[in-house]
Chains A and B, each alone.
Chain A
Amino acid sequence: MTQKEMIALVRKLIADEQATGFTEGGNLEEPEGTQELLNYLDRAVDEYSKRQVSKRDVRLQKTMTVSNGRSLPDDFIEFCGAVPLNIDGGVISYYGEASTLPVRYFARLPYVSSYGENSSLPYKHDQEIAITALAAIYALNKHEFNVSQDLMLLGYGVPNANSQQ
């Protein structure tokens, strides 16, 4: 799926195929609203990645080569287990001698906005579904739609305490 196709899918989910909902100040060919949808997609990527890391999703695991003075990768979320590293202001240094052991970490998926309009995105199909659905929820939420049910269906959110009684 390309970035353009993903945005089109979000528009379908929010019933905005004609780009009328997110075109404030722009025109139909190059609506400013597209950038807003991209922001929602990036936000969705961020949230989805953190969710999957909490579930220990192996697809988000990466290995990095560590050397003293190196900065943490931009996509860094957390280390897999304890590693003998000191992080100070995003800069890595070893406790004591440098080790040859692999350092694994959980990485955020790449942002949708970091790809070109027609570039193929590196997500798996289930990731595409979840990210677009979440971005659609963010977009609907802006227009003050009730998205609690959508969040529930996506596994994001808790049932209302009153509704369980």
Chain B
Amino acid sequence: MIPVSRIVSSLRYSLRDMQGLNVSDFELIEAINQASALLYGRLAEKFIHTALKKTLLVVDEDGQTTLPSDFVSVHRVGMGEEGYAVPESYRPDEAGTYRIAGNNFYAPEGSYSFEYYYLPQRVTSLTDRLDVPLSLSPYIEQISAAMLSKDLSTAEQLAQLCCNVQAGGEISHLENTGPVEILGGML
């Protein structure tokens, strides 16, 4: 969780507008919301676990419950010691199956450990806290600054870079990754 005021201060410094003469707090907070939506959308697309959340879904005998409000896409649905449920195209009647349609989760009665990619809740004031790990703070700040400059291309590149880094893809940036061993030999 990152305090919004901290991101706003950093953004104002980047924009050289500490006094708020040119950019309002509203604009900054909107840019932060847009940046977190873009970043978490890309993280979910690439199945990066940084954007994962876990919650318990309890399904009553009517066979359905509402999805969390910050839900983007499902990662996996656990059933305790019974393993994981699998998605079903139609209304699931058998144990170990589930279906997601609209804003609802359909499954046989029971409790489910629901892992999903989430979208951070919108922030609206300087005293709010953005539901994002501290490690993503630099990306949120840079993407917000790019958004404020209407530079959507740079914002997109930063989001992709963050995905690569979070996935361990930063190794691909090294020019010399050293000798690669394949089947005991050297290339």
Contact = CB atoms under 8 A, between A and B. Distances in A.
B27 interface: yes
Contacts, number: 41
B20 A84 contact: no
Contact of B22 (A80, A83, A100, A102): A80
| Interface of chain B, main secondary structure | loop
B22 A99 contact: no
B20 A99 contact: no
Contacts of A104: 20, 24
Most buried by B among A79, A80, A82: A80
B26 interface: yes
A127 interface: no
B34 to A, nearest CB: 14
B1 interface: no
A80 B21 contact: yes
A101 B21 contact: no
Nearest to B25: A101
Interface string A71-91: 000000001111110000000
Interface string B92-104: 0000000000000
A14 interface: no
Interface string B16-57: 000111111111010000000000000000000000000000
Interface residues of B, number: 13
Interface string A97-116: 00111111000000000000
Contacts of A99: 26, 124-125
A56 interface: yes
A61 interface: yes
Given A101-B29, A102-B25, A81 B125 contact: no
A58 B21 CA distance: 7
A81 B20 contact: yes
Overall SS of chain A's interface = loop
Contacts of A80: 20-24
A100 B19 CA distance: 18
B26 A82 contact: yes
A61 B126 CA distance: 20
A56 B15 CA distance: 14
A101 B26 contact: yes
Given A100-B125, A101-B125, A101-B126, A81 B26 contact: yes
A83 B124 CA distance: 13
30 contacts: A56-B21, A61-B19, A61-B20, A61-B21, A79-B24, A80-B20, A80-B21, A80-B22, A80-B23, A80-B24, A81-B20, A81-B22, A81-B23, A81-B27, A82-B24, A82-B26, A82-B27, A83-B26, A84-B26, A99-B26, A99-B124, A99-B125, A101-B25, A101-B124, A101-B125, A101-B126, A102-B25, A103-B24, A104-B20, A104-B24
> Lowest 7 A-B CB distances belong to which pairs?
A81-B24, A56-B21, A81-B23, A101-B25, A58-B19, A100-B125, A82-B27
